[in-house]
Protein backbone atom coordinates (compact mmCIF):
# COMPACT_ATOMS: atom_id res chain seq x y z
CA UNK A 1 0.00 0.00 0.00
CA UNK A 2 1.34 3.43 -0.95
CA UNK A 3 2.21 6.22 1.41
CA UNK A 4 0.47 9.43 0.40
CA UNK A 5 2.79 12.39 -0.21
CA UNK A 6 0.98 15.37 1.28
CA UNK A 7 1.59 18.34 -1.02
CA UNK A 8 -0.50 20.63 1.15
CA UNK A 9 1.69 20.00 4.19
CA UNK A 10 4.98 20.35 2.26
CA UNK A 11 3.79 23.52 0.52
CA UNK A 12 2.69 25.02 3.86
CA UNK A 13 6.22 24.45 5.15
CA UNK A 14 7.81 26.08 2.08
CA UNK A 15 5.45 29.08 2.37
CA UNK A 16 6.13 29.44 6.11
CA UNK A 17 9.87 29.67 5.36
CA UNK A 18 9.23 32.24 2.62
CA UNK A 19 7.04 34.24 5.02
CA UNK A 20 9.79 34.27 7.64
CA UNK A 21 12.33 35.67 5.18
CA UNK A 22 9.82 38.15 3.71
CA UNK A 23 9.08 39.45 7.23
CA UNK A 24 12.81 39.95 7.81
CA UNK A 25 13.13 41.89 4.54
CA UNK A 26 10.14 44.04 5.49
CA UNK A 27 11.99 45.10 8.65
CA UNK A 28 14.72 46.38 6.31
CA UNK A 29 12.12 48.32 4.30
CA UNK A 30 12.00 45.82 1.43
CA UNK A 31 8.48 45.05 0.17
CA UNK A 32 8.08 42.15 -2.25
CA UNK A 33 5.68 42.42 -5.19
CA UNK A 34 4.40 39.89 -7.73
CA UNK A 35 2.53 40.97 -10.87
CA UNK A 36 0.05 38.38 -12.09
CA UNK A 37 -1.28 38.85 -15.62
CA UNK A 38 -4.29 36.99 -16.98
CA UNK A 39 -5.67 37.46 -20.48
CA UNK A 40 -9.17 36.24 -21.35
CA UNK A 41 -11.72 34.13 -19.52
CA UNK A 42 -10.25 30.64 -19.21
CA UNK A 43 -11.89 29.30 -16.01
CA UNK A 44 -8.93 27.08 -15.05
CA UNK A 45 -6.53 30.03 -15.44
CA UNK A 46 -8.81 32.16 -13.26
CA UNK A 47 -8.64 29.53 -10.48
CA UNK A 48 -4.82 29.34 -10.73
CA UNK A 49 -4.47 33.13 -10.67
CA UNK A 50 -6.76 33.45 -7.64
CA UNK A 51 -4.70 30.80 -5.83
CA UNK A 52 -1.48 32.66 -6.66
CA UNK A 53 -2.91 35.91 -5.29
CA UNK A 54 -4.05 34.13 -2.12
CA UNK A 55 -0.56 32.65 -1.65
CA UNK A 56 0.95 36.16 -1.95
CA UNK A 57 -1.23 37.26 0.98
CA UNK A 58 -0.15 34.22 3.00
CA UNK A 59 3.56 34.98 2.61
CA UNK A 60 3.26 38.76 2.95
CA UNK A 61 3.86 39.80 -0.68
CA UNK A 62 1.87 42.45 -2.53
CA UNK A 63 0.17 41.06 -5.62
CA UNK A 64 -0.71 43.25 -8.57
CA UNK A 65 -3.35 41.72 -10.81
CA UNK A 66 -3.78 42.68 -14.45
CA UNK A 67 -6.88 41.05 -15.96
CA UNK A 68 -7.01 41.84 -19.66
CA UNK A 69 -9.84 41.08 -22.10
CA UNK A 70 -9.78 38.09 -24.48
CA UNK A 71 -9.25 40.37 -27.51
CA UNK A 72 -6.04 41.97 -26.13
CA UNK A 73 -3.39 42.27 -28.85
CA UNK A 74 0.19 41.06 -28.61
CA UNK A 75 1.37 44.68 -28.78
CA UNK A 76 -0.83 45.68 -25.83
CA UNK A 77 0.44 42.79 -23.73
CA UNK A 78 4.06 43.58 -24.68
CA UNK A 79 3.48 47.16 -23.53
CA UNK A 80 2.23 45.93 -20.17
CA UNK A 81 5.22 43.58 -19.80
CA UNK A 82 7.54 46.50 -20.60
CA UNK A 83 5.86 48.62 -17.93
CA UNK A 84 6.20 45.82 -15.34
CA UNK A 85 9.84 45.19 -16.34
CA UNK A 86 10.53 48.81 -15.37
CA UNK A 87 8.37 48.94 -12.23
CA UNK A 88 10.54 48.86 -9.10
CA UNK A 89 7.69 47.56 -6.95
CA UNK A 90 7.43 44.45 -9.10
CA UNK A 91 9.97 41.72 -8.29
CA UNK A 92 8.31 38.96 -10.27
CA UNK A 93 6.14 38.86 -13.39
CA UNK A 94 3.84 35.96 -14.11
CA UNK A 95 1.84 35.86 -17.32
CA UNK A 96 -0.64 33.01 -16.97
CA UNK A 97 -0.59 30.57 -19.91
CA UNK A 98 -2.26 29.67 -22.21
CA UNK A 99 -2.74 33.01 -23.96
CA UNK A 100 -5.43 33.73 -26.59
CA UNK A 101 -4.44 32.59 -30.09
CA UNK A 102 -3.66 36.07 -31.48
CA UNK A 103 -0.76 36.36 -29.00
CA UNK A 104 2.49 34.50 -29.57
CA UNK A 105 3.46 33.04 -26.20
CA UNK A 106 7.17 32.94 -27.00
CA UNK A 107 7.18 36.67 -27.87
CA UNK A 108 5.75 37.43 -24.44
CA UNK A 109 8.05 35.04 -22.57
CA UNK A 110 11.07 36.52 -24.40
CA UNK A 111 10.01 40.04 -23.38
CA UNK A 112 9.96 39.38 -19.63
CA UNK A 113 13.15 40.48 -17.90
CA UNK A 114 15.00 37.26 -16.97
CA UNK A 115 15.59 38.53 -13.42
CA UNK A 116 11.82 38.98 -12.96
CA UNK A 117 10.93 35.73 -14.76
CA UNK A 118 9.68 33.81 -11.70
CA UNK A 119 8.24 31.05 -13.94
CA UNK A 120 11.76 30.41 -15.32
CA UNK A 121 10.35 30.23 -18.86
CA UNK A 122 12.68 32.78 -20.53
CA UNK A 123 15.32 31.12 -22.77
CA UNK A 124 18.09 32.65 -20.63
CA UNK A 125 16.67 30.94 -17.53
CA UNK A 126 16.04 27.69 -19.43
CA UNK A 127 19.72 27.77 -20.43
CA UNK A 128 20.78 28.33 -16.82
CA UNK A 129 18.72 25.30 -15.78
CA UNK A 130 20.29 23.20 -18.54
CA UNK A 131 23.82 23.88 -17.28
CA UNK A 132 22.82 23.56 -13.62
CA UNK A 133 23.63 27.17 -12.66
CA UNK A 134 20.30 28.77 -11.87
CA UNK A 135 18.56 31.31 -9.64
CA UNK A 136 15.00 30.32 -10.52
CA UNK A 137 13.77 26.77 -10.84
CA UNK A 138 10.65 26.15 -12.93
CA UNK A 139 7.87 25.99 -10.34
CA UNK A 140 6.16 22.67 -11.07
CA UNK A 141 9.32 20.56 -11.55
CA UNK A 142 10.89 22.23 -8.49
CA UNK A 143 7.77 21.35 -6.48
CA UNK A 144 7.98 17.75 -7.67
CA UNK A 145 11.63 17.56 -6.52
CA UNK A 146 10.53 18.73 -3.04
CA UNK A 147 7.86 16.01 -2.95
CA UNK A 148 10.37 13.34 -3.99
CA UNK A 149 12.76 14.59 -1.28
CA UNK A 150 9.91 14.24 1.22
CA UNK A 151 9.77 10.47 0.59
CA UNK A 152 13.44 10.07 1.58
CA UNK A 153 14.08 8.21 -1.70
CA UNK A 154 17.43 9.29 -3.16
CA UNK A 155 17.21 10.06 -6.90
CA UNK A 156 20.91 9.19 -7.45
CA UNK A 157 21.21 6.21 -9.80
CA UNK A 158 17.47 5.55 -9.93
CA UNK A 159 15.47 4.90 -13.08
CA UNK A 160 13.36 8.03 -13.49
CA UNK A 161 10.67 8.21 -16.16
CA UNK A 162 8.90 11.43 -17.09
CA UNK A 163 5.77 11.09 -19.23
CA UNK A 164 5.31 14.35 -21.17
CA UNK A 165 7.75 16.67 -22.91
CA UNK A 166 6.31 20.15 -22.44
CA UNK A 167 8.52 23.18 -21.92
CA UNK A 168 6.73 23.92 -18.64
CA UNK A 169 6.98 20.48 -17.03
CA UNK A 170 8.43 17.50 -18.94
CA UNK A 171 11.71 18.94 -20.24
CA UNK A 172 12.78 20.88 -17.12
CA UNK A 173 11.59 17.98 -14.92
CA UNK A 174 13.96 15.62 -16.73
CA UNK A 175 16.79 18.11 -16.26
CA UNK A 176 16.26 18.48 -12.50
CA UNK A 177 16.19 14.70 -12.05
CA UNK A 178 19.39 14.48 -14.12
CA UNK A 179 21.06 17.10 -11.90
CA UNK A 180 20.30 14.79 -8.96
CA UNK A 181 22.04 11.95 -10.87
CA UNK A 182 18.92 10.05 -11.91
CA UNK A 183 18.93 7.92 -15.08
CA UNK A 184 16.22 9.75 -16.94
CA UNK A 185 13.88 8.69 -19.74
CA UNK A 186 11.34 11.05 -21.30
CA UNK A 187 8.28 9.36 -22.80
CA UNK A 188 5.70 11.04 -25.02
CA UNK A 189 2.89 10.34 -27.45
CA UNK A 190 5.21 8.71 -30.03
CA UNK A 191 7.07 6.50 -27.54
CA UNK A 192 7.02 2.80 -28.32
CA UNK A 193 6.46 0.37 -25.44
CA UNK A 194 5.57 3.22 -23.10
CA UNK A 195 3.94 0.98 -20.49
CA UNK A 196 7.02 -1.25 -20.31
CA UNK A 197 9.38 1.70 -19.90
CA UNK A 198 7.22 3.17 -17.15
CA UNK A 199 7.06 -0.17 -15.36
CA UNK A 200 10.86 -0.05 -14.92
CA UNK A 201 10.73 3.35 -13.21
CA UNK A 202 11.72 3.74 -9.57
CA UNK A 203 10.40 7.29 -9.88
CA UNK A 204 7.55 7.98 -12.30
CA UNK A 205 6.38 11.52 -13.06
CA UNK A 206 3.18 11.78 -15.10
CA UNK A 207 2.56 15.06 -16.93
CA UNK A 208 0.36 13.94 -19.80
CA UNK A 209 -2.96 15.75 -19.41
CA UNK A 210 -5.12 12.63 -19.71
CA UNK A 211 -7.24 11.27 -16.87
CA UNK A 212 -6.40 7.69 -15.74
CA UNK A 213 -3.53 7.45 -18.27
CA UNK A 214 -1.26 5.65 -15.80
CA UNK A 215 -2.61 2.22 -14.89
CA UNK A 216 -1.19 -0.37 -12.43
CA UNK A 217 0.58 -2.38 -15.18
CA UNK A 218 2.72 0.74 -15.85
CA UNK A 219 3.97 0.92 -12.26
CA UNK A 220 6.86 -0.91 -10.63
CA UNK A 221 6.03 -2.32 -7.21
CA UNK A 222 7.02 0.26 -4.57
CA UNK A 223 7.73 3.10 -7.04
CA UNK A 224 7.44 6.80 -6.26
CA UNK A 225 4.50 7.99 -8.40
CA UNK A 226 4.10 11.73 -8.91
CA UNK A 227 0.98 12.98 -10.66
CA UNK A 228 1.25 16.40 -12.31
CA UNK A 229 -2.08 16.03 -14.14
CA UNK A 230 -5.01 18.39 -13.63
CA UNK A 231 -7.94 16.95 -15.55
CA UNK A 232 -11.69 16.88 -15.14
CA UNK A 233 -13.35 13.48 -15.21
CA UNK A 234 -16.77 12.72 -16.73
CA UNK A 235 -18.47 14.17 -13.61
CA UNK A 236 -16.43 17.39 -13.72
CA UNK A 237 -14.34 16.29 -10.73
CA UNK A 238 -10.64 17.26 -10.63
CA UNK A 239 -8.40 14.25 -11.24
CA UNK A 240 -4.81 13.56 -12.23
CA UNK A 241 -3.11 11.49 -14.93
CA UNK A 242 -2.76 8.47 -12.65
CA UNK A 243 -5.59 6.06 -11.94
CA UNK A 244 -5.07 6.72 -8.23
CA UNK A 245 -7.37 4.13 -6.71
CA UNK A 246 -6.16 1.34 -9.01
CA UNK A 247 -2.46 2.20 -8.50
CA UNK A 248 -2.60 2.86 -4.76
CA UNK A 249 -1.72 -0.66 -3.61
CA UNK A 250 1.19 -1.10 -6.01
CA UNK A 251 2.97 2.25 -5.61
CA UNK A 252 5.34 2.88 -2.70
CA UNK A 253 4.53 6.58 -2.57
CA UNK A 254 1.87 8.49 -4.47
CA UNK A 255 0.65 12.09 -4.76
CA UNK A 256 -3.09 12.79 -4.66
CA UNK A 257 -4.92 15.18 -7.00
CA UNK A 258 -5.88 17.63 -5.66
CA UNK A 259 -3.47 18.15 -2.77
CA UNK A 260 -0.26 16.89 -4.36
CA UNK A 261 1.76 18.80 -6.96
CA UNK A 262 -0.72 21.71 -7.37
CA UNK A 263 -0.04 23.45 -4.04
CA UNK A 264 3.71 22.92 -4.55
CA UNK A 265 3.76 24.83 -7.85
CA UNK A 266 2.40 27.90 -6.08
CA UNK A 267 4.72 27.56 -3.09
CA UNK A 268 7.74 27.42 -5.43
CA UNK A 269 6.47 30.52 -7.25
CA UNK A 270 6.54 32.34 -3.91
CA UNK A 271 10.08 31.05 -3.30
CA UNK A 272 11.21 32.30 -6.73
CA UNK A 273 9.66 35.72 -6.10
CA UNK A 274 11.51 35.93 -2.79
CA UNK A 275 14.73 34.96 -4.60
CA UNK A 276 14.15 37.69 -7.20
CA UNK A 277 13.76 40.28 -4.43
CA UNK A 278 16.89 39.05 -2.66
CA UNK A 279 18.97 39.19 -5.84
CA UNK A 280 17.74 42.70 -6.61
CA UNK A 281 18.69 43.86 -3.12
CA UNK A 282 22.02 42.00 -3.05
CA UNK A 283 20.94 39.75 -0.18
CA UNK A 284 22.45 36.26 -0.02
N1 LIG B 1 -0.18 27.61 -17.04
C2 LIG B 1 -0.09 26.35 -16.53
N3 LIG B 1 0.94 26.24 -15.67
C4 LIG B 1 1.53 27.46 -15.63
C5 LIG B 1 2.64 27.98 -14.91
O6 LIG B 1 3.33 27.29 -14.14
N7 LIG B 1 2.92 29.29 -15.13
C8 LIG B 1 2.20 30.06 -15.99
N9 LIG B 1 2.57 31.33 -16.15
N10 LIG B 1 1.17 29.60 -16.66
C11 LIG B 1 0.83 28.31 -16.48
Ligand 1 contact via 35 beta carbon (within 6 Å): no
Domains of the chain: 29-113 (3.40.50.10860), 139-262 (3.40.50.720)
The reply to whether 96 belongs to the active site is: yes
What's the predicted TM-score (pTM) here?
0.97
Task: Look at residue 95 and tell me whether its pLDDT is greater than 90.
Answer: yes
Element (H, E) at 240: none
The CA distance from 124 to 220, in Å, is 37
Report whether 257 contacts 265 (CB < 8 A): no
pLDDT tens figures, 163-199? 999 999 999 999 999 999 999 999 999 999 999 999 9
Q: Phi and psi (nearest 5°) for 124?
A: -65, -40
Across the chain, what does the average pLDDT equal?
97
CA of 112 to the centre of ligand 1 (A): 14
The CA distance from 202 to 252, in Å, is 9
Q: Rounded to a whole number, what is the distance in angstroms from the first to the last CA of the chain?
A: 43
Report whether 44 contacts 96 (CB < 8 A): no
Q: For ligand 1, pick from 119, 269, 273 the residue to mutate: most ligand atoms within 8 Å of CB.
A: 119
Question: Shortest CA distance to 70 belongs to which of 91, 46, 51, 52?
Answer: 46
The CA distance from 179 to 201, in Å, is 17
Question: Shortest CA distance to 266 belongs to which of 4, 5, 18?
Answer: 18
pLDDT tens figures, 148-159? 999 999 999 999
The CA distance from 155 to 17, in Å, is 24
Amino acid sequence: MAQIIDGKAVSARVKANVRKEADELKKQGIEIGLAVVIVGNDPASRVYVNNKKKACEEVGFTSYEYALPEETTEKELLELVDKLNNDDKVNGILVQLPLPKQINENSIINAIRPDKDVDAFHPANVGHIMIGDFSFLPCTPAGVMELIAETGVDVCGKNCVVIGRSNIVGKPMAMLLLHKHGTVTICHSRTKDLAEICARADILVAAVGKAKFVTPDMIKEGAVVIDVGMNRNENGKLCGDVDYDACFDKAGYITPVPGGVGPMTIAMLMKNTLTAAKIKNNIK
